[in-house]
Chain A
Amino acid sequence: DAKTTQPTSMDCAEGRAANLPCNHSTISGNEYVYWYRQIHSQGPQYIIHGLKNNETNEMASLIITEDRKSSTLILPHATLRDTAVYYCIVRRRDNYGQNFVFGPGTRLSVLP
């Protein structure tokens, strides 16, 4: 089962920041928070990941709370091409390495 909870859907105006929240209250100390997105009928695209510090790359910023029980993905200037399903994933480990368990994600609609 997915270890994260996200809102089912969100809207954002084009050019504004999109803030996507994620709760992962049962995260353990060695688990990372990953964000992927999936545009319709395509494979998931990696966005960003972090352990406990805030992270930023050319696509987005990831803000992780101090207790690590929740995080927020920020797309600073959303465009229409950012319309997608966004998945927040807590990576688990098993004997064969790490798997990704996908929850239902948040369907972000960027509106003109």
Chain B
Amino acid sequence: GAVVSQHPSWVICKSGTSVKIECRSLDFQATTMFWYRQFPKQSLMLMATSNEGSKATYEQGVEKDKFLINHASLTLSTLTVTSAHPEDSSFYICSARGERVDGEQYFGPGTRLTVT
């Protein structure tokens, strides 16, 4: 199947700093990318959906000014956690889908963020 990568795989940062997470589709063009967050022992929660070249659509309760999403190309989306705090510590997972609306959605390996 198609490959989605994330970088970094884990990151530790200090409270108040910003962290950028990259999501890349390696062998297909991702017209839509999704960002999820997963706290320990919980399921994945969709944070936002982004279409290439458009502003992201955020799920209810997700602060768009805190979680900045950029989807400037068909192979790259970035999530920036601004002014991170310990409660932002989580497993962040991106997912990408190609042009077909009913196409499969491929998930990245996830990024473990720890804010100290």
Number of A-B contacts (CB under 8 A): 60
Chain A residues contacting B43 (CB-CB under 8 Å) are: 2, 87, 102-105
| Overall SS of chain A's interface | loop
Max chain A Cβ within 10 angstroms of own Cβ: one of B57, B97, B105: B105
CB-based nearest A residue for B34? A99
| Overall SS of chain B's interface | strand
Taking CB atoms and an 8 Å cut-off, the chain A residues in 92-112 that contact chain B are 93, 96-105
Q: Is the CB of B104 closer than 8 A to any CB of chain A? A: yes
Q: Is the CB of A26 closer than 8 A to any CB of chain B? A: no
CB-based nearest B residue for A36? B107
- A residues contacting B by CB (< 8 A) are 2, 32, 36, 38, 41-46, 49, 87, 93, 96-105
- B residues contacting A by CB (< 8 A) are 1, 4, 6, 32, 34, 36, 42-46, 49, 51, 57, 91, 93, 95, 97, 101-102, 104-110, 112
Given A2-B43, A46-B104, A103-B43, 19 other A-B residues pairs in contact with their CB atoms under 8 A: A36-B107, A38-B44, A43-B93, A43-B108, A43-B109, A43-B110, A44-B93, A46-B106, A96-B51, A97-B101, A98-B97, A98-B101, A98-B105, A99-B34, A100-B95, A102-B43, A102-B45, A104-B43, A105-B43
